[in-house]
Amino acid sequence: MAETVAIILAAGGSTRMNTQVAKVLHEVCGRPMLAYVLDACREIGISKIFVVIGFSAGEVKERFAGDDDIVWIQQDEQLGTGHAVLRCKEHLKDFDGQTLVLCGDGPLIRAQTLKTLIEKHESGHSAATLGTAILNDPSGYGRIFRDDYGNIQGIIEDSDCTPEQLKIKEINPSNYLFDNQALFEALETIKPENVKKEYYLTDAVSSIIATGHKVEAITAVPPDEAVGINSRAQLSAASKIMQRRIQRRLMEDGVTIVDPDNTWIDARAQIGQDTVIEPFTYIHGQVQIGQNCRIGPFAHLRHGTVLKNDVVLGVHTEVKNSTLADGVRARHHSYIGDAMVGRNVNFGAGSITANFDGEKVNKTNIGDNCYIGSGSVLIAPLELEDGSNVSAGTVVLQGSMRGLSGKARIDVSK
Ligand code: UD1
Ligand code: CA
C-alpha cells in the first residue's frame, strides 16, 4: 500500500439528532461511533489519522485522549464537508501519498471494504476512487450520477436532486480514497452553490472528473456498512446492525446466544467458549466472562464485571465492578457490586452486597466456598473468610464478624 493517511470528518453537531452532545460521541453498542471508524483505519495499517472536530471539540478530544495516532484539526464553523477536509491542508499540502476520507457518523464501515477500495484505487491508477452502495431506500444520501457508459459524472446531494435523480439507488456512503494532491487542488475550486450553501466534498469529486483525471466509483460497500447516522432512528438502526455483528462474532467463538433478538451485548464484552447467554440478558461495558458460564435470563452485567469459569447468574441478578471466581452461583435476584468473590460461593435468592453508604462506594471481599443465605444483606466494607455461612435473612456488618473464625455461622441474632 502506498503511503496513506486518513481524514475523518467529525466536526458537525446534529440538528436532526436534536442533541447537545457531539454526534460522533453518541454510542453504538457501548462505544462512541467515532471509535469504530478509527479502528477500521487502524486495522488496515493507517497510522496517521486527522480528525476534524468543531462542535463540542473538547469533549471529543477528552474521550479519545491517549489515542496518539490522531491529529486533531479544528473547524470552528461547519461550512460543509469540503471545507472540513480543507482544514487539513496545513498538514497535508506537501504530502504525495493517498488520502482516505471517511465520516465519523458512518461507524459501520469495515476494514475489509476499505482494503478493497485501496486495492482498486492502486490497480486502477485513479486520482479518486469512491466506494458506493446500492440501497433500497436511498433517501437522504448523495446519489451517484453515471453516464451511459457507466462512468461516474458526479455526486448529487439529496437536497439538490431532481425528482428523477431521487430515484437513483446508488448512493455515496462517504468512503473516498484520493490522490492527496488532486484532492487539495480540487478543494480550492469548490463553491457553496447548492441548496444548503455549503462547501461540499462531493463537488471536489466532480471537479477532479472535470479536469480529466480518472475517477472510479466501485459498488464495494455492502448496504449494512453504508448507514450514515443523522437521526436517532438511524442511530438505533446502526446499533441493531452492530449488535448482530457482535453476536455473530461471539457465536463463532463458541458462545451460545439463545435468543439474539432479546439479548444486548456491549462491543467491548469478552465471552468464553461454551458459555450460554439466556434471553433478556443485558451486558454493558467492559465485561469479561469465562468458559462454561450460564448467564440469565434477565441478567444485568455492568462495567468492570469479571466472571471466571462455570459461573451461574440467573434471573434478575446484577453484577457491577466485581470479580467472581470459578463456580460462583447467584441464581435469583442478587446484586453484587464492588466485590471480590471466591470460588464456589453460593448467593441465595435476593442476597445482596450493600456497597454504597450514601457517600461512598465500599468493597466486599468474600472468601472461597461461602454460603450466603437468601435475603441477606452484606454491608460493605466487609470481609468474609473462606467457608463463612451466612444464614437466610441476615444483615451482616463488619463488626458482627469480630471474634468469629472461618466457617462461623452468622445469623440475625448476632
Ligand atoms: C454526506 C455526503 C453525502 C453522503 C452522506 C453519507 C456531502 C456534501 N454529502 O451527507 O453525499 O451520502 O454524507 O452519509 O459530503 N462535517 C464536518 N464539518 C462540516 C460538515 C460536516 O466535519 O462542516 C462532518 C459531520 O460531522 C459528519 C460528516 O461530516 O460526520 C458528514 O456530514 P453530514 O452533515 O452528516 O453530511 P450528510 O448530509 O450526511
Ligand atoms: Ca451524515
Would you state the cell numbers that stand for residue 67, as one nine-digit string?
489515542
Q: What is the pLDDT of residue 402?
A: 46
| Whether the predicted pLDDT of 235 surpasses 90 | yes
| Whether the predicted pLDDT of 117 surpasses 70 | yes
For the CA of 228, the nearest atom of ligand 1: 14
Q: What is the distance, to the nearest Å, from the Cα of residue 207 to the centroid of all Cα atoms in its chain?
A: 35
What predicted TM-score, i.e. pTM, was given to this entire model?
Answer: 0.95
Three-class DSSP labels, 271-330: ECCCCEECCCCEECCCCEECCCCEECCCCEECCCCEECCCCEEEECCEEECCEECCCCEE
Closest residue CA from atom 37 of ligand 1: 141
Annotate 193-213 with DSSP letters as a single string: -STT----HHHHHHHHHHTT-
Cell numbers 479544528 correspond to what residue?
A: 74
| Whether the predicted pLDDT of 60 surpasses 90 | yes
Closest residue CA from atom 21 of ligand 1: 81
Cell numbers 450466603 correspond to what residue?
A: 372
Mutational pocket test of ligand 1: of 51, 59, 60, 174, the residue with most ligand atoms within 8 Å of the beta carbon? 174
Protein residues with CB under 6 Å of any ligand 1 atom: 9-12, 23, 52, 75, 78-81, 83-84, 103-106, 141-142, 155, 157, 171-174, 200-202, 228, 230
- CATH homologous superfamily of 232-411 equals Hexapeptide repeat proteins (2.160.10.10)
Instruction: Check if the beta carbon of residue 264 is closer than 8 Å to that of residue 243.
Output: yes
Mutational pocket test of ligand 1: of 103, 159, 165, 191, the residue with most ligand atoms within 8 Å of the beta carbon? 103
Would you state the cell numbers that stand for residue 346, as one nine-digit string?
453460593
Least confident of 79-88, 229-238, 279-288, 396-405: 396-405
In this structure, which ligand is nearest to the CA of 33? 1
4-225: CATH class:
alpha beta
Element (H, E) at 74: strand 70-74
Distance 142 CA to ligand 1 centre (A): 10
In this structure, which ligand is nearest to the CA of 199? 1
| Whether the predicted pLDDT of 410 surpasses 60 | no
For the CA of 203, the nearest atom of ligand 1: 8
- Strands 371-372 and 142-146 come out as unpaired
Annotate 247-266 with DSSP letters as a single string: HHHHHHTT-EES-GGG-EE-
| Whether the predicted pLDDT of 403 surpasses 90 | no
Distance 59 CA to ligand 1 centre (A): 20
Domain ranges of the chain: 4-225, 232-411
In 3-state terms, the chain is what percent helix, strand and coil (to 5)? 25, 30, 45
∠ CA 78-138-151, nearest 5°, is 90
Annotate 8-56 with DSSP letters as a single string: EE-----TTTT-SS-GGGSEETTEEHHHHHHHHHHHTT---EEEEEBTB
Q: What is the pLDDT of residue 412?
A: 40
pLDDT over 70, % of the chain: 96
Catalytic residue numbers, as ranges: 332
Distance 121 CA to ligand 2 centre (A): 24
| Whether the predicted pLDDT of 260 surpasses 60 | yes
